[in-house]
């Protein structure tokens, strides 16, 4: 996008940061392949629909960011066993279940085109396969046999759902505050990042202080990730985002870019946001106009600054662990998550 290079030339990422996720992926590749095997095995069901959707989800091939974090944090904390494989699969199951349920659409939304598992299988299948993943995850966590892990992941699941409900309530509400927004993303995104990292430390039986450090790393990284994701929705390309840009706008989600522009906007601009997001009354030109308003108030730079401060906190947490190539990779990931928008 042309406005991108122009306005953020100073933030152009260095090569090692761009490839940070790829580098972490390579580092944990063998374990990640084992995680995929567990995912395939556990989604094997006598029910064809579940098998089909499992295949779709595996081959659609998300970034597997959360299971990568579980594997990496367990290793960073010195874990030597094999429990991290099924538990990383559980984290991915919980994540995928929330994605499927987030895809469920209300009658009022049916007119808009939505490309997702839902479009292929329908509401009901999305709900049920999400439920299947969620309950299968709990079976695996129970089989793992640690109450500490059970507590972390069951609490995370509850919190994620509260976050999703909160998000539902802020949709179409241009009065949503920055605090309200952060409450949503902490619950719906940061909590699972936090849990994914935290259980790595639990498996390694490291000190409470180190476990808290891993949890804090995950929490802050999750915030960075969602801040940038919400920025990219107005600003990114389809390949950066893994989905069509402008989805949040079309669905009337009130995310931080909008909150920042709305707060400073003049009366006409406030009317624009009310019409497009509050009432979902949109024309083809409105997304471009929205992006112009975001640029007018320097929204992207401001979000990058916020993301940098959470990224800094994430990186500081890891300093309780001794220097290692894995720690360096995780620090790079924290930087990279910011630079996706830069």
Q: Which residues contact 36 (CB under 8 A, 6 or more apart)?
A: 58
Question: Is there a contact between 97 and 133 (Cβ–Cβ < 8 Å)?
Answer: yes
Residue 99 CB, shortest distance to a second copy, in Å, is 12
| Residue 23: φ, ψ to 5° | -65, -40
Question: Of the two residues 125 and 326, which places its CB atom closer to a second copy in the complex?
Answer: 125
Residue 180 CB, shortest distance to a second copy, in Å, is 12
Residue 179 CB, shortest distance to a second copy, in Å, is 13
Question: Of the two residues 142 and 319, which places its CB atom closer to a second copy in the complex?
Answer: 142
Whole-angstrom Cα distance, residue 96 to residue 227? 20
Question: Of the two residues 35 and 156, which places its CB atom closer to a second copy in the complex?
Answer: 156
Whole-angstrom Cα distance, residue 114 to residue 217? 33
Question: Of the two residues 40 and 104, which places its CB atom closer to a second copy in the complex?
Answer: 104
Residue 170 CB, shortest distance to a second copy, in Å, is 11
Residue 69 CB, shortest distance to a second copy, in Å, is 21
Question: Of the two residues 48 and 81, which places its CB atom closer to a second copy in the complex?
Answer: 48
Question: Of the two residues 17 and 194, which places its CB atom closer to a second copy in the complex?
Answer: 194
**Which chain residues interact with a second copy by CB under 8 A?**
45-50, 101, 104-108, 110, 122-125, 127-129, 131-132, 134-136, 138-139, 142, 145, 147, 150-151, 154-155, 157-158, 160-162, 164-166, 168-169
Residue 277 CB, shortest distance to a second copy, in Å, is 17
Which residue is it, tokens 């995370």?
156
DSSP collapsed to 3 states, 205-259: CCCHHHHHHHHHHHHHHHHHHHHHHHHHHHHCCHHHHCCCCCHHHHHCCCCHHHH
Whole-angstrom Cα distance, residue 15 to residue 313? 23
On the 0-12 / 13-18 / 19+ scale of CB atoms within 10 A, 113 is exposed
Question: Of the two residues 162 and 316, which places its CB atom closer to a second copy in the complex?
Answer: 162
Residue 227 CB, shortest distance to a second copy, in Å, is 22
Whole-angstrom Cα distance, residue 132 to residue 139? 10
Residue 115 CB, shortest distance to a second copy, in Å, is 15
Question: Of the two residues 42 and 286, which places its CB atom closer to a second copy in the complex?
Answer: 42
Whole-angstrom Cα distance, residue 210 to residue 208? 5
Residue 152 CB, shortest distance to a second copy, in Å, is 10
Question: Of the two residues 151 and 271, which places its CB atom closer to a second copy in the complex?
Answer: 151
Which residue is it, tokens 């509850």?
158
Which residue is it, tokens 């960073």?
76
Smallest Cα–Cα separation from 68: which of 42, 43, 95, 41?
A: 95
Q: DSSP label at 78?
A: T
Whole-angstrom Cα distance, residue 163 to residue 169? 10
């Amino acid at each position: 996008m042309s406005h991108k290079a122009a306005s953020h030339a100073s933030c152009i990422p260095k090569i090692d940061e761009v490839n940070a996720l790829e580098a972490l992926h390579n580092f944990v590749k063998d374990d990640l392949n084992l995680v995929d095997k567990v995912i395939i095995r556990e989604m094997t069901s006598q029910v064809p629909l579940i098998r089909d959707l499992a295949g779709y989800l595996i081959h659609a091939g998300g970034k597997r960011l959360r299971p990568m974090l579980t594997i990496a944090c367990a290793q960073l904390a010195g874990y030597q066993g094999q429990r991290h494989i099924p538990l990383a699969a559980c984290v991915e199951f919980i994540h995928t279940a929330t994605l499927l349920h987030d895809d469920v659409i209300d009658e009022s939304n049916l007119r808009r085109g939505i490309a997702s598992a839902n479009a292929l299988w329908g509401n009901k299948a999305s709900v049920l396969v999400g439920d299947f993943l969620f309950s299968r995850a709990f079976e695996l966590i129970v089989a793992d046999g640690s109450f500490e892990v059970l507590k972390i992941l069951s609490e995370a699941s509850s919190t994620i759902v509260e976050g999703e409900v909160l998000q539902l309530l802020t949709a179409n509400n241009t009065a949503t505050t920055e605090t309200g927004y952060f409450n949503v993303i902490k619950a719906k995104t940061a909590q699972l990042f936090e849990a994914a990292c935290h259980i790595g430390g639990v498996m390694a039986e490291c000190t409470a202080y180190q476990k808290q450090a891993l949890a804090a790393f995950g929490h802050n990284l999750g915030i960075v990730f969602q801040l940038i994701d919400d920025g990219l929705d107005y600003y990114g390309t389809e390949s950066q985002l893994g989905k069509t840009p402008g989805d949040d706008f079309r669905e009337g989600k009130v995310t931080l870019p909008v909150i920042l522009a709305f707060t400073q906007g003049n009366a006409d601009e406030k009317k624009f946001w009310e019409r497009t997001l509050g009432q979902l009354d949109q024309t083809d030109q409105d997304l471009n106009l929205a992006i112009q308003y975001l640029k007018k108030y320097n929204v992207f730079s401001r979000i990058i600054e916020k993301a940098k401060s959470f990224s800094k906190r994430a990186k500081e947490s890891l300093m309780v662990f001794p220097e290692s190539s894995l720690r360096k990779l995780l620090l790079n990931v924290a930087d990279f998550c910011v630079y996706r928008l830069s």
